[in-house]
Structure 1
Amino acid sequence: MTDLSELNFDPSGLIPVVTQDARSGAVLMQAYADRAAVERTLGTREATYYSRSRGEQWVKGQTSGHTQRVVSVHVDCDGDSLLYRVEQTGPACHTGEYSCFYRPLLGGDAPESGLPATGLGGTLERVYATITERLATLPEGSYVARLHAGGLDRVLKKISEEAGEVLLAAKNADRAELATETADLLFHTLFALAEVGVTPADVAAVLQGREGKSGLKGPKEVG
């Protein structure tokens, strides 16, 4: 549905928005949006809300760096509430908790990030989240801040250098060195992704699109 006239805003011109992690399904937060905020969300895919206390529109993560890239927007059956499904960077709650719903009234544990606790995929997601947070805050003494100050060309040069180290380690069948150099290559590749605005989920979507019944297809086999 693209016709916002079908939405039922309250007398104050607001509509409640429930925000959900698109990867894990966990509920992250609940806020409000006015028509302009909804329009901006649809147009930019940046989760945008309306602050009742401040009386103004706000974009999630604009200050903290804990951004929400909107994957989809759904409206409920009565047209009086919305669901934002997002890719969350960092915690969603201003307290530092992953979800605003971290205090149980009846059983259960607080929602977790939904990212694998172990394994390469979960580690890459956490490293990427750390990189994006430090790019947003640029803390003094941070390697990310120093690398960012050198411009994109500097990190691209690092990727080239690390790729060469990976090739050499593989050629020498040095398992420990290969693991170390691959970690360096992945880190700097994630940095380049963050600088350009590409997420690990974007890369995963490309790889998933290459999966066929007979297994994973190589780039030249697709199409």
Structure 2
Amino acid sequence: MKIDYKKYSDGLVPAIIQDANTSKVLMLGFMNEEAVNKTTELGKVTFFSRSKNRLWTKGEESGHFLEFVSLQVDCDNDTLLIKAIPHGPTCHTGADTCWNETNKPDHFLYHLESVIEQRKTGGDEKSYVRSLFAKGINKIAQKVGEEAVEVVIEAKDNNEDLFLNESADLLFHYLLLLNTKGYNLDRVLDVLKERHKPKP
């Protein structure tokens, strides 16, 4: 890997930091060769701070480190793409990213979670979501069980439309149950990711 540090008069190349899991761009920093070496050796993203005029490991004061995953160089060898796992918010303002974006994948399921949360406490008395929450966790858990049984029944037949619709119903009611328990998809995904880690 050849990085053209000499292309810039100060020997610093731009480094775009991207969340390795969500693909969200977290921040932009600058690195010299020493910063790149320290990043790979330490396993924590380290920049050259132009304001401090020294190497600076992100999170050295806040504890919000960027766990290094990989480094790529662009086609001109003068810009870096670093994939990392953030431990806490990335921006000094407390935001997830320096563009004040929420660091979650652009996935409809996350949007659906937010819709469920809004309707849970919304003013629409005809809302199906609100009515289920009003009946409590036992009713919601029962609905998950009913939908799971219907998915199994449809899986044994060959009606694609019915199977997919029952699967959607099951997923929707499972999101309701997670919300009722005070959890979300991220917590479940964390468990799956932990299971997926290679064992030493």
TM-score w.r.t. the length of structure 1 is 0.49
Q: What secondary structure sits across from 1:25 in the alignment?
A: coil
Indicate yes or no: 2:103 matched with 1:112: yes
Report the alpha carbon displacement of residue 45 of structure 1 after superposing the two structures with TM: 1.7
Indicate yes or no: 2:165 matched with 1:101: no
2:39 aligned to 38, 41, 50, which one?
41
Q: What secondary structure sits across from 2:14 in the alignment?
A: strand
Q: Would the aligned equivalents of 2:29 and 2:47 in 1 still touch at CA under 8 Å?
A: yes
State the distance in 2 between where 1:52 and 1:96 align: 21
Report the alpha carbon displacement of residue 62 of structure 1 after superposing the two structures with TM: 1.3
Q: Would the aligned equivalents of 1:98 and 1:113 in 2 still touch at CA under 8 Å?
A: no
Match of 1:181 in 2: none
Residues 47 and 204 (structure 1 numbering): CA distance in 2 closer, same or farther, change over 3 Å?
Answer: farther
2:52 aligned to 51, 54, 57, which one?
54
TM-superposition CA deviations, 1:118-171 (whole Å, max 9, x none): 656513789xxxxxxxxxxxxxxxxxxxxxxxxxxxxxxxxxxxxxxxxxxxxx
Q: Would the aligned equivalents of 1:27 and 1:111 in 2 still touch at CA under 8 Å?
A: no
Match of 1:122 in 2: 186
1:169-184 to 2 correspondence within 5 Å?
Answer: none
- Greater Rg by CA: 2
State the distance in 2 between where 1:84 and 1:124 align: 26
Residues 68 and 204 (structure 1 numbering): CA distance in 2 closer, same or farther, change over 3 Å?
Answer: farther
Q: What secondary structure sits across from 1:69 in the alignment?
A: strand
State the distance in 2 between where 1:18 and 1:99 align: 12
1:1-223 to 2 correspondence within 5 Å?
Answer: 1=1, 3-4=2-3, 7-102=5-100, 110-114=101-105, 122-123=186-187, 201=193, 203-206=194-197
Match of 2:165 in 1: none
TM-superposition CA deviations, 1:92-132 (whole Å, max 9, x none): 00000000012xxxxxxx34334966656513789xxxxxx
State the distance in 2 between where 1:77 and 1:120 align: 39
> Identical aligned pairs, as a percentage?
31
Q: What secondary structure sits across from 1:54 in the alignment?
A: coil
Report the alpha carbon displacement of residue 73 of structure 1 after superposing the two structures with TM: 0.4
Q: Would the aligned equivalents of 1:19 and 1:30 in 2 still touch at CA under 8 Å?
A: yes
TM-score w.r.t. the length of structure 2 is 0.55
Q: What secondary structure sits across from 1:16 in the alignment?
A: strand
State the distance in 1 between where 2:87 and 2:185 align: 15
Q: Would the aligned equivalents of 1:48 and 1:57 in 2 still touch at CA under 8 Å?
A: yes
Q: What secondary structure sits across from 2:15 in the alignment?
A: strand
Residues 69 and 13 (structure 1 numbering): CA distance in 2 closer, same or farther, change over 3 Å?
Answer: same
Q: Would the aligned equivalents of 1:23 and 1:87 in 2 still touch at CA under 8 Å?
A: yes
Q: What secondary structure sits across from 2:30 in the alignment?
A: strand
Unaligned runs of 5+ in 2: 114-177
Q: What secondary structure sits across from 1:42 in the alignment?
A: helix
Report the alpha carbon displacement of residue 204 of structure 1 after superposing the two structures with TM: 4.0
Unaligned runs of 5+ in 1: 103-109, 127-185, 187-199, 210-218
Superposed CA RMSD: 2.9
Q: Would the aligned equivalents of 1:8 and 1:79 in 2 still touch at CA under 8 Å?
A: no
